[in-house]
Structure 1
């Protein structure tokens, strides 16, 4: 019996194995028989972790590279955003750079998180396999836990997915004037969970992306400046229309309004008849976000022209617009 216990393990006769190498170095039977657990598996696990770490570093560097705005050329899109549609209006000027930077940074952070989870997740599975743990029950338990967390964090997931699609589609961004239902104003920051708006009163609104059912964006493509001009019932509508058209055309040709006007003003005619009087509607196509400034300039010019022509506005009425209240700085 003692002879059997002291007999060297058979693995020492296999040339090139860890067992044989450890036995040659130590001459210990137990260390040689346990070489797989003491040396081979730790070395394999270390190699797996090192490879995972290196891959993660390389992937993150690649993501940083494609999400960074080229230095010295802020107007150029990051490589990640070039295949994606962009609706940023040129009128935003320097804010376009911030809009692009924030959009690329947010998408890049999502890609980094996803890549880290995927790489380290695969490495963890490989390590468990090396240790000899049965992954079946663990995967089943993880599935149950994932379902439970999904139900508990469904609002968070909803906000995240909505923010992700909003980013990819560039529905709105920093500097845009938007109406999201409960709040409206200028977008100051866009994240995967929260959109930050500042309204005309200076109040900052934090809106969850998952709660945004529809978005009205006043900063894409072009806008329309709309002015309703009130007149008394006894006013000469044809003459008033001529005066309004001439005043609007003259105002549109003067700087700085001419830089914002895309098409000549158009007088549509009588829009409505109210107990206070008649309303003449004027519209003009302008650059996005400039409709409120153009409306104010048109009102001032039209008021002066109508007064010079002998027209008087109805009592208790002001030159107005059916459009929403302009945002801060609009």
Structure 2
């Protein structure tokens, strides 16, 4: 606050104090003392206390606005809405023949067609929103603290803190390079949607299983034997996601060499029809399962392969159903099954 503004604010109190000074009566002395106290208080209040109040009010309002904006944007992304111009009538009803164009919220058709994509997008948006909210809160509160210290006359303290923080930051930076790498890698994992909670992933070094939690520093993976792996994001050089968008169920059966190939293929075709007609498993198929011919001859056996494109995470169930149905149909056709294998 400038000197001119301060004089303007305190001028009424100065005149009140001056007007009350010449009166020698007891009541005049009380008025004069009151005016002087009011003037002293106002002069003190318009100094650092008022600056501190302004900083706190502005900081709280800014924090509330930033949080609301982040929540609004992430909620729109999570629900799959985006802004688009459409033609509308004067009643603001969307139409293909109206002349008036307005901006409306349109729901993403991809999210409607594939609920899994919508769920993944919602989880990713809310996770990133939480990270942005935390970062904004730390930045605004730190700025508020520095401004308050400067307002109360602790500028030397602030300068000392900043200098010390710079030295400590350089020292810690050399030792925390891996930590920074973990945080940056975790941020890109979330933004790029490389994998999310519930995905079956292969992160290398034996860390294969279902993702239970993803944060900025660590990815937590539960393997199929129950082991919980805590993998640093900065150490993940490659990530194989088995449940993103779609998966493939592959089942292999082996029959003795010399078996009638046409009979075997016909039996496997009936097995595919059984799985495809199942009410539950049929909904998991994204394409009609295919039966290839003889893929290999191993240890005196023909190897036949069945494969199907399925919904994420459903490859294991479809693969097992194909093997069971294939075994039953081959036995009914008089074919002996010498072995089976799967890849799901």
**What TM-score range do you get, normalising by the shorter chain?**
0.7 to 0.9
Q: Partner residue of 1:256?
A: 280
Separation (CA, whole Å) in 2 of partners of 1:236 and 1:285 = 28
Separation (CA, whole Å) in 1 of partners of 2:202 and 2:326 = 29
Moved over 6 A (4+): 32-38, 86-89
| Runs of 5+ consecutive residues of structure 1 not aligned to the other structure | 1-10, 325-330
Q: Partner residue of 1:319?
A: 340
2:247 to 216, 223, 233: 223
Separation (CA, whole Å) in 2 of partners of 1:118 and 1:169 = 25
Secondary structure in 2 aligned to 1:16? helix
Structure 1 residues 243 and 89: alpha-carbon distance in aligned structure 2, compared to 1, 3 A threshold:
same
Separation (CA, whole Å) in 2 of partners of 1:36 and 1:311 = 102
Q: Partner residue of 1:120?
A: 141
**How far is 1:139 from its partner?**
4.1
Separation (CA, whole Å) in 1 of partners of 2:191 and 2:81 = 13
Structure 1 residues 234 and 22: alpha-carbon distance in aligned structure 2, compared to 1, 3 A threshold:
farther
Separation (CA, whole Å) in 2 of partners of 1:117 and 1:277 = 66
TM-score by length of 2: 0.71
Are 1:149 and 2:172 counterparts?
yes
Alignment of 1:168-187 (within 5 A): 168-181=191-204, 182-187=206-211
Q: Partner residue of 2:128?
A: 107
Q: Which has the higher strand share?
A: 2
Are 1:76 and 2:99 counterparts?
no
Equivalent residues of 2:79, 2:122 under 8 A apart: no
1:208 to 218, 232, 236: 232
Equivalent residues of 2:199, 2:242 under 8 A apart: yes
With 297-306 and 285-294 compared, the bigger mean Cα shift is at 285-294
Are 1:61 and 2:68 counterparts?
yes
Q: What is the number of equivalent residue pairs in this alignment? A: 299
Equivalent residues of 1:91, 1:287 under 8 A apart: no
Q: Partner residue of 1:41?
A: 48
Equivalent residues of 1:78, 1:104 under 8 A apart: no
Separation (CA, whole Å) in 1 of partners of 2:174 and 2:124 = 29
Q: Which has the higher helix share?
A: 2
Higher relative contact order (CA 8 A, sep 6+): 1
Q: Partner residue of 1:285?
A: 309
Q: Partner residue of 1:188?
A: 212
1:237 to 215, 237, 261: 261
Separation (CA, whole Å) in 2 of partners of 1:219 and 1:18 = 71
Equivalent residues of 1:67, 1:78 under 8 A apart: no
| Runs of 5+ consecutive residues of structure 2 not aligned to the other structure | 18-31, 83-105
**How far is 1:294 from its partner?**
0.9
Structure 1 residues 221 and 64: alpha-carbon distance in aligned structure 2, compared to 1, 3 A threshold:
closer
Are 1:158 and 2:165 counterparts?
no
Separation (CA, whole Å) in 2 of partners of 1:187 and 1:88 = 25
Q: Partner residue of 2:155?
A: 133
